[in-house]
């Protein structure tokens, strides 16, 4: 609330209720607070409160920054800031993502995509959100802006392997470096505080590959550097090509520069057929129909795949079934494959399948987990294997994360 008294503005501010771990991790005296946290534990929410409080203690001409890896995330923070402040307490510049508070201090939400654009200002306090997913150069730039002001910074995020600057900085803070504080927040801390529900976390534990669950909910870095299947688990599934009959197939179609890949599994879910080629659509269709015959086959029917599926199904070949790739359907498909690999329920020969599985990556985004090959590499064999595995019938439906319903969006 804001009141005017004898020409002076006094700002009456009530901090929203925060969990103890949010307060301990962020509202402390350290200049650098580093937090490695479970997803959805409330790190962004607590930091939004923190940056508002820093700015409320500032004055005209002082800048307070919120940095996110990409512009879209900076915009989300901007929207959440506005939602958390009384309308009369700020003016907003939507194109610069800037809020000017009643005391003249500015909160500016910025993207870390172009670190060079972050140099040059004096910043009085800052938050670096999703730090493990942003470029190190952006941290160097932000650090330079805090030099003249000796400004405080909160660096928060999920863990994402060990090969990133946020991980290294967290280890420094954890070892007791002067001026730094470190806190790890797990999903269980958030359950105790009533921010996350236990059912939800147990469900995530059942549905997600172990190493993904550990990174996302326990803040434990994976040794596999973002590989969702697990390097050791992949190796444990390697066995010679089976010479038994296929009971199902998975078909990933070449879209542009990729390969078409067809994989067959026998009744013990061992790879018994593997074809990888680049041909015209007509030749692709006749080759696939010849190899597959009347055996069930799950086909990537995304985009142009729809028309190919129709041709495959001609003459009543209903054993060809379509599968449309979206971020969430791919997530579900890949998680089914990851579970099969980690339980050694599937077998495949060394070579292209193993190479692609080993280089496959996952990335946590606001809309879920995105699975893909690193840029410039192929994932057709992984997709074909995942489709065949799905057809073999192991997948349980994945339950999508739901927000706890006791929380009112207004306050944060």
Structure tokens at 408: 């009112």
Between 44 and 54, CB nearer to ligand ATP? 44
Q: What is the 3-class SS of 77-118, one letter each residue?
A: HHHHHHHHCCHHHEEEECCCCEEEECCCCEEEEEECCCHHHH
191 binds ligand ATP (CB under 6 A): no
Shortest Å, Cβ 38 to ligand ATP: 7
Structure tokens at 31: 């200049």
Beta bridge partner(s), residue 4: 9
The position carrying tokens 């008294």 is 5
Angle (CA) 219-364-92 rounded to 5° is: 100
**β-pairing verdict for 98-101 and 32-37:** unpaired
Between 69 and 209, CB nearer to Mg ion? 69
211 binds Mg ion (CB under 5 A): no
* Inter-axis angle of helices 305-312 and 281-292, nearest 10: 50
Judged by CB under 6 A, the stretch of 40-48, 245-253, 255-263, 303-311 that binds ligand ATP is 40-48
Selected from 26, 35, 36, 42, the binder of ligand ATP by CB under 6 A is 42
Selected from 25, 32, 37, 128, the binder of ligand ATP by CB under 6 A is 37
Spatial distance between the Cα atoms of 297 and 286, rounded to a whole number of angstroms = 14
Count of residues of this chain found to bind ligand ATP when the rule CB under 6 A is applied: 17
69 binds ligand ATP (CB under 6 A): no
403 binds ligand ATP (CB under 6 A): yes
38 binds Mg ion (CB under 5 A): no
Binding letters toward ligand ATP, positions 142-161, x by CB under 6 A: ----------------x---
**Which long-range contacts (C-beta less than 8 Å, at least 24 apart) are formed by 85-90?**
85/52, 86/1, 86/2, 88/2, 89/2, 89/11
Structure tokens at 286: 């006749």
Spatial distance between the Cα atoms of 408 and 388, rounded to a whole number of angstroms = 43
18 binds, among ligand ATP, Mg ion, none (CB under 5 to 8 A by kind): ligand ATP
44 binds Mg ion (CB under 5 A): yes
Between 44 and 111, CB nearer to Mg ion? 44
181 binds ligand ATP (CB under 6 A): no
Selected from 26, 34, 35, 45, the binder of ligand ATP by CB under 6 A is 45
**What is the total residue count of the chain?**
412
Between 13 and 119, CB nearer to ligand ATP? 13
Phi/psi at 277 (5° precision): -155, 165
Site residues (vs Mg ion, CB under 5 A): 44
Site residues (vs ligand ATP, CB under 6 A): 17-19, 22, 37, 39-45, 158, 195, 403, 407, 412
């Amino acid at each position: 609330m804001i009141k005017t008294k004898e020409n002076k503005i006094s700002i009456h501010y009530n901090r929203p209720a925060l969990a103890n771990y949010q307060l301990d991790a962020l509202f402390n005296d350290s200049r650098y607070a580093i937090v490695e946290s479970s997803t959805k534990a409330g790190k962004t929410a607590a930091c939004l409160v923190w940056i508002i409080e820093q700015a409320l203690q500032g004055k005209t001409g002082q800048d307070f920054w919120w940095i996110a890896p990409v512009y879209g995330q900076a915009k989300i923070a901007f929207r959440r800031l506005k939602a958390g402040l009384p309308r009369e307490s700020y003016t907003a510049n939507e194109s610069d993502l800037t809020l000017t508070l009643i005391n003249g201090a500015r909160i500016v939400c910025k993207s870390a995509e172009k670190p060079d654009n972050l140099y040059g200002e004096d910043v009085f306090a800052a938050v670096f959100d999703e730090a493990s997913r942003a470029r190190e150069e952006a941290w160097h730039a932000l650090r330079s802006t805090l030099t003249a002001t000796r400004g405080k910074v909160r660096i928060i995020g999920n863990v994402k392997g060990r090969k990133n600057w946020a991980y290294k900085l967290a280890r420094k803070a954890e070892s007791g470096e002067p001026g730094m504080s470190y806190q790890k927040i797990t999903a269980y801390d958030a359950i105790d505080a009533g921010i996350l529900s236990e059912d939800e976390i147990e469900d995530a534990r059942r549905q997600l590959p172990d190493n993904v669950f550990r990174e996302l909910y326990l803040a434990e870095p994976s040794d596999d550097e973002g590989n969702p299947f697990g390097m050791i688990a992949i190796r444990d599934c390697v066995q010679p090509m089976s010479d038994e009959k296929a009971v199902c197939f998975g078909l990933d179609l070449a879209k542009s520069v990729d390969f078409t890949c067809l994989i067959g599994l026998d009744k013990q879910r061992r790879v018994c057929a593997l074809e990888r080629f680049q041909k015209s659509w007509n030749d692709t269709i006749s080759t696939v129909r010849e190899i597959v015959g009347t055996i069930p086959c799950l086909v990537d029917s995304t985009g142009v795949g729809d028309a190919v599926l129709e041709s495959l199904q001609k003459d009543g070949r209903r054993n060809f079934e379509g599968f449309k790739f979206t971020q969430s359907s791919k997530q579900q498909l890949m998680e089914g494959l990851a579970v099969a690999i980690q339980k050694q329920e599937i077998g495949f020969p060394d070579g292209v399948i193993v190479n692609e599985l080993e280089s496959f990556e996952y990335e946590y985004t606001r809309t879920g987990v995105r699975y893909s090959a690193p840029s410039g590499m192929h994932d057709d064999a992984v997709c074909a294997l995942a489709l065949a595995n799905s057809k073999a019938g192991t997948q349980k439906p994945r339950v999508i994360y739901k927000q706890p319903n006791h929380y009112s969006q207004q306050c944060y």
